[in-house]
Structure 1
C-alpha cells in the first residue's frame, strides 16, 4: 500500500473553501491530524500543487466534525484547522465563521443531525473557542438544498441562505469583552480597541495608519512597511490582552475601520493576519460590528447606524459588503451589554469522495 484513502467532502463555506472530515476518519491526536492535513492540502508549498489547497489562506482551511458527547447541549462539535500554505504548520487556535456555514449541511448529510422539513437548526460547538452557534439550514422535504437566491459578496452567483447565530460570543478566547480592561489603548503609538467577541480583534482607525479602509487587499499587501507596522501592533496588543506572544499565531486578528463610503455601516479591512482578507471573516466581522455599538471604542460614532438594541451593521470590505446583526442590552448611555451576534452566509458542496495521502504519513485506523 502506498497511499491512504480518507473520506472527505470539499465545500465552499462563505468566502472560504476546504475539505470537511469526520473526526472518526482521522488520527486521534492533534499532532497526527496536523500531519495528515499538511499532506492532504499539499503543504508546505507555495502552490500546494500536491494537495487540495488553493494556495491562499482562504482556500487552505479544514473542518473536522464529530457528534457531541452525550449530555452536551450542542449536537455536533466543529474543530477548525488553518493549514499554512508555505510552512509545515497547522493552527488549531482560531475558528472560521465562513467555513462554519458548511458545518450544518455536512452534519445533516452525514447523518449526525436529523433533517426536518423546511428548515433544520443545528447547534454547533466551535471546539477552538468554545462558542455555541445555531445554524439554520434550508432542508425542504427533509433534504439539504444548496440552491437559492441569496448572494454574498466575494462569491459568484446565489445559493440557499444559512443563518448563523452566535450565542455566548463574548470572551471566547480571553474570558473578557475587553481583554485589556479598556475600551481604548495606545499601542505602538496608535490608539486601538481590543475586543473579544467571536474572535479577538485589535481594531484601529484607518486614518491613524495613513489609510482609508477603501484600499484593495492587493494594495495593502503590497505596502510592506504598513504590513510590518500592523504586525508589530498586533503582537504588542496580544501581550496586553494576556494572550502571549502572537508570533507565528493567527490570533488575535487585526482590523482597521473608517466611515462608510455607502449609506450605512462602516468601512473595514480585516487581516488574516499577514495578509488582508479579500472579503470579510464572519467572526471578525461580528467583532468589528460590535465595536460600532459600544461607547468609547475607536469605532464609536464612526458607523452610520441607529441606537437600537438589535442593529444590523453593514461592513464594507474589499469584495463588497457583509451584514452582521448585533444584539445588546442598554442600561444607560455608557453601559451596553453584548448579548450576541449573527450573520447570513451560504455554502455549496463541491465534491465528495476520498483524498489520498502517502501511507508513510498515516496508514489509517
Structure 2
C-alpha cells in the first residue's frame, strides 16, 4: 500500500507570490492537522524546502484555501496561510494581497461562481482579516484569460490584468486603524507608525535605522545588525498593538520608508518579517497608502496628506507599485492592478498518516471542474 496520499491542488502565481491553491473541502477542518499537511506539502523546516514544493523564500511559501461563501455580499471565502521556510510553522493571522489576485481566477475555474463575459467580478471575503475585496477577472467569451498586456514590476513579461479593490482597508482584526491609540509612537528611541490597514505594520524611517531605504533586498538581508534591530522593535510594536508575543508570528511587518530615488512618492523596503520582500506586498502598499490619508503618520510626514481621489506611487527594490485611493459612499476604497497565472494542476502528495486521518477527499484523482456558465 502506498504510504503517500494525494490532495487536489492548483499551483498559481498571484502578483509577485506563488503557492498551491486548495478547495477547503479537500483539507481537514481541524486547523492543527491542516497545518501539518501544509508544512509537509511545502517542505517547511528546511531553508531550501527541499522536501516540498515551496521555493525557499517567503514569497513562494504561501497557500490559499478557497470555498464558496455563505456570507451576504461575498462569492467566495479565502483563507491565506503563510508557511515558514526555515521553521515548521504556519501563520494564518495576515492576509496576502498578491496571492489574493489569483483567488478570482481559481474560484471561477473551480466552478464556485458563475462566469461572465467579458469581465467577471469576484467578491472575496478574506477570512484572516474579516474584510472584503473585489477582483475584476478578464473572462472574454466566458473563459478565464491569463495572457494580456498588463505588466507589474517583479514579474517577467505581461499578462491579463486583475484589478483588486480593497473595500475595508482600515477594518482589520484590531478595533482601530491605529491599535496603540496614536499615529506616532516612540519605540526604544525610534519613531514608528503602528498601523493595521490591510496588514498590521510597523512603519519606520529608514534613516533612523542607519540605511537609506534605497538598498537592494539582498543588501538589506545581509545586514545582520539591521535585521536584529528590526526584530527587537517589531516584537515591542506587536505587544503595543495588542498582538501579544509575536516572536512566532509574521505580523506586524517592519517597513522602512524614505524619500523617493526616482519619480515615485515614497521609497519602501518591506520585511516579511525576517527578510526584505523582493518587491512590495500588495497589502503593505494598501496600508501605506491608507496611512498617507491620515495626518501625523510617518507616511504623511514624507509625502503630505493625500485626500482621495489620489494615486500614491511606491518605489520598491524591483520597480514601482501604484495604489489608487477613492471614496465609495462613506468608505475609502484602495485599488491596484495585479496579474496572475495558473501554473499546474494535480495532486500534492503528503504522508498518508496525514492525508487519511480525517479527509475522505484525499487520495482521489483530481478532475478539473468545468466553469459554470452565466
Report if TM-score (shorter chain) is over 0.5.
yes
Q: CA deviation at 1:39?
A: 1.1
Q: CA deviation at 1:310?
A: 1.4
2:300 is paired with a residue of what secondary structure? coil
Answer whether contact 1:2 1:358 (CA < 8 A) is retained. Answer: yes
Is the counterpart of residue 327 in structure 1 residue 326 in structure 2? yes
Q: State the match for 2:5 in structure 1.
A: 4
2:268 is paired with a residue of what secondary structure? strand
Answer whether contact 1:39 1:361 (CA < 8 A) is retained. Answer: no
Answer whether contact 1:137 1:161 (CA < 8 A) is retained. Answer: yes
Q: CA deviation at 1:171?
A: 3.2
Q: After the TM superposition, which residues 170-249 of structure 1 pair with which residues of structure 2 at under 5 Å, given as runs?
A: 170-249=170-249
Query: Counterparts of 2:331 and 2:314 in 1: how far apart (Å)?
Result: 18
Which sits farther off after the overlay, 290-299 or 156-165?
Answer: 290-299
Answer whether contact 2:7 2:347 (CA < 8 A) is retained. Answer: yes
Is the counterpart of residue 348 in structure 1 residue 347 in structure 2? no
Answer whether contact 1:188 1:232 (CA < 8 A) is retained. Answer: no
Query: Counterparts of 1:162 and 1:255 in 2: how far apart (Å)?
Result: 25
Answer whether contact 2:294 2:305 (CA < 8 A) is retained. Answer: no
Is the counterpart of residue 36 in structure 1 residue 37 in structure 2? yes
1:23-74 deviation per Cα after TM superposition (whole angstroms, max 9, x unaligned): 11111111111011111112222211121111111101000000112x5321
Query: Counterparts of 1:171 and 1:243 in 2: how far apart (Å)?
Result: 16
Query: Counterparts of 2:340 and 2:208 in 1: how far apart (Å)?
Result: 36
Structure 2 unaligned segments of length 5 or more: list them. 361-374
Of 344, 350, 359 in structure 2, the residue corresponding to residue 357 of structure 1 is 350
Q: CA deviation at 1:291?
A: 2.0
Q: CA deviation at 1:317?
A: 0.4
Q: After the TM superposition, which residues 1-365 of structure 1 pair with which residues of structure 2 at under 5 Å, given as runs?
A: 1-69=2-70, 72-303=72-303, 307-327=306-326, 339-363=332-356, 364-365=359-360
2:230 is paired with a residue of what secondary structure? helix
Which sits farther off after the overlay, 16-25 or 170-179?
Answer: 170-179
Query: Counterparts of 2:48 and 2:221 in 1: how far apart (Å)?
Result: 18
Answer whether contact 2:119 2:140 (CA < 8 A) is retained. Answer: yes
RMSD of aligned C-alpha atoms? Answer: 1.5
2:298 is paired with a residue of what secondary structure? coil
1:165-223 deviation per Cα after TM superposition (whole angstroms, max 9, x unaligned): 01122131212111111111101110011111111111011111111110111111111
Q: CA deviation at 1:93?
A: 1.0
Query: Counterparts of 2:232 and 2:171 in 1: how far apart (Å)?
Result: 23
Q: CA deviation at 1:308?
A: 4.2
Query: Counterparts of 1:339 and 1:355 in 2: how far apart (Å)?
Result: 40
Query: Counterparts of 2:142 and 2:224 in 1: how far apart (Å)?
Result: 51
Structure 1 unaligned segments of length 5 or more: list them. 330-336
Q: TM-score, normalised by structure 2?
A: 0.92
Query: Counterparts of 2:15 and 2:179 in 1: how far apart (Å)?
Result: 28
Q: TM-score, normalised by structure 1?
A: 0.94
1:300 is paired with a residue of what secondary structure? helix
1:232-272 deviation per Cα after TM superposition (whole angstroms, max 9, x unaligned): 11111111111212111001111011111122311011000
Query: Counterparts of 2:10 and 2:52 in 1: how far apart (Å)?
Result: 14
Query: Counterparts of 1:64 and 1:264 in 2: how far apart (Å)?
Result: 35
1:48-104 deviation per Cα after TM superposition (whole angstroms, max 9, x unaligned): 1121111111101000000112x5321100011111112111111111000000000
Q: CA deviation at 1:340?
A: 2.6
1:299 is paired with a residue of what secondary structure? helix
| Equivalent residue pairs, number | 356
Change (3 A) 1:338 1:262: farther
Q: CA deviation at 1:17?
A: 0.4
Query: Counterparts of 1:106 and 1:270 in 2: how far apart (Å)?
Result: 27
Answer whether contact 1:183 1:193 (CA < 8 A) is retained. Answer: yes
Q: CA deviation at 1:343?
A: 1.1
Q: CA deviation at 1:361?
A: 2.1
Answer whether contact 1:78 1:103 (CA < 8 A) is retained. Answer: yes
